[in-house]
Amino acid sequence: MAFSSGSGKGPMADINVTPLVDVMLVLLIIFIVTAPIMTYPIDVALPQRVINPPPVTKEPPPPIELRIDASNQIFWNNSPVSVTALPQMMETEVQRDPTNQPELRIDASADSEYEVMARVLASAKNADMKKINFVQP
């Protein structure tokens, strides 16, 4: 907004800020008055520290030594086993204690067939065995 001044030098470029200051002061008073009304306690349920004894660690069962020789014969702890009986034996071991399973250590000959190894691993997966390791020569 430009107003002409009485001196005739040209338009005056000043803005009257008095109404703006009045509005700001009114808003400040409104916020000061309403701020204490809006403060109220909020109940927060925080988790409490529970002191439990440490979990009892079980002694792991002895590992299962599974060996596949060059003639594709499978040995369960040095006892010969057929491929068809292997899944049931693995399920029995898992069902004894599902939280504390024995370790299955597989020692396969380099000359054994891949199909036999695939059947052994499929049987272990289907029996839900968690600890499977391969023995390196």
Per-residue pLDDT of the chain (137 residues; tens, 9 = 90+): 455 555 667 777 788 889 899 999 999 999 888 877 666 778 888 888 888 877 777 888 999 999 999 999 999 999 999 989 999 999 999 999 888 899 999 999 999 999 999 999 999 999 999 999 999 86
| Same domain, residue pair 22 and 71 | no
CB atoms within 10 A of CB 74: 22
Pick from 68, 56, 66, 133: which is nearest to 97 by CA? 56
Question: Given the structure tokens 């204490």, which residue do they identify?
Answer: 36
* Structural contact between residues 58 and 100, judged by C-beta atoms closer than 8 angstroms: yes
Is position 75 within any domain? Answer: yes
| Per-residue model confidence (pLDDT) at position 57 | 79
Query: What residue numbers bound the domain in which 17 lies?
Result: 12-38
Instruction: Give the count of domains, the chain.
Output: 2
| Same domain, residue pair 34 and 73 | no
- Write the CB contacts of 13 (distance below 8 Å, at least 6 apart in sequence): 2
Is position 43 within any domain? Answer: no
Is position 1 within any domain? Answer: no
CA distances from 123 to 83, 91, 129, 132, 133 (A): 9, 9, 9, 12, 14
| Same domain, residue pair 117 and 71 | yes
Six token digits for residue 14:
């000043």
* Structural contact between residues 131 and 90, judged by C-beta atoms closer than 8 angstroms: no
pLDDT digits (tens, 9 = 90+) for 115-134: 999 999 999 999 999 999 99
